Structure 1
C-alpha cells in the first residue's frame, strides 16, 4: 500500500513539473514572438523615417534651401539633449536623496549615542519628540524672521521714496499683515509648548506606572519564591 502510493505521488509531482515547464516554454515563446514583432515594427518605422528624410532633403535641394541635418541627424541630437536633461535631473534627485540620508544618518547616530549612554526607550522617544518640536519651532522662527526682514525692507524703501501716500498705505497694510502673522505664529508656538508639556506629563505618568508595575512584579516574584 505504501509503495504504490509513493509512486503515485511521485508521478503526480512529475506531471505537475512537466506542466509547469510546458507553460513556461509557451510563455517564453510568446514573449520572443512579441519581441520579434516589436523589432520588426521598429525597423519598418526607421525605414519609413529614413525615406521621409530623403524626400525632405530632395525637396529642400530643389527649392534651393539647404538641409539643416548634415552629418548627424537631428533626431540624434534631440535624443542626446533629452538624455543630458534626464541625467541632470537624475543626478539632482540622487544628490537630494544623499542629503536626506545623511541627515537621517546623523539623527540615528545621535539616537544610538543616547542609548549607549544608558537611556531607556522612553528617553529615546522623548528625545525624538523634542528634536521634532525643535525643528518645527526653528521653521516657524525662520518664517518670522523672513517677515521681519520684508517689513524692514519696505520701511526703508518707503522712507527713501519721499513719503508717497500710496507707499505708506502699502506699508500700513504690510504692518497689519505682519502683526496678524506674528499673532498666528505666537498661537502656534503656544500650542506647541502646550503639546510638549502635555507629552512630558504623559511620559512621566507612564514612567511612574512602569515603576509601580515593576515593584508589583518583584513582590509577586518574591511571594512565588516563598511558596
Structure 2
C-alpha cells in the first residue's frame, strides 16, 4: 500500500546513510571497510590457494574477486561475490565447505556491509516478509555493534586509566626536576647575608688584632 511505500523510501534513505559510512577514514585508515583476499586457482581449476582468513561466523560477508593469472579480471567477473563467512576449523578438507548458491550475491553495487539476501542483495520494506527479513538482520547488526562497543569501551577505559597514570608521573617528574634545577630565592638570600656578615666580622677581628701591637709600640716609644 501507499504507507508501506513511503516507509520503504525512508528506510532506503537510512540504509544509504549507513552504507556511506563504509568509506569514512580516520588518519587515512578505513574505519569500516575490509581488504580483498586473492584466491589463486590453477589452470585446470581443480586446486586453489587461499591465504589465511579470520572471519566471524554468522552474517559477516567475505568478498571474493575472480582474477586471471596475470592479475586481471577473468571475463565478466569485475564485480565482487559476497558469501556467508564459514568456520572452516571444523572441517578437515576444503571440499567439505559447500557454498550455498541462494546466499551468493552478484550485485554491481554490493558493499562490504551488505547482508545476504536471496534476491537483490539489499533490504526493503515493500512486503511484510521483506520487512521481517530486514528487521531480523538489523537486530543482528545492532547486537554486533553493541558487542564491539563493549570491547571498545573496555579498551577506552584502560587507555584512560593509563593516561591518568602517565599524567601523574609527568607532574611528579616535573616537580622533582624543579627541586633540582630551580633556585630557592629566599634560602639563597639568607645564606648570602649570613656569609656576608661572617666575612665582615672576620675582617673586623683581623683589623682589631693588628691594631693592638701598634698601640703597644706607641706606648713604648
| Bin for the TM-score computed over the shorter chain | under 0.3
**TM-score, length of structure 1 as denominator length:** 0.27
TM-score relative to the length of structure 2: 0.27
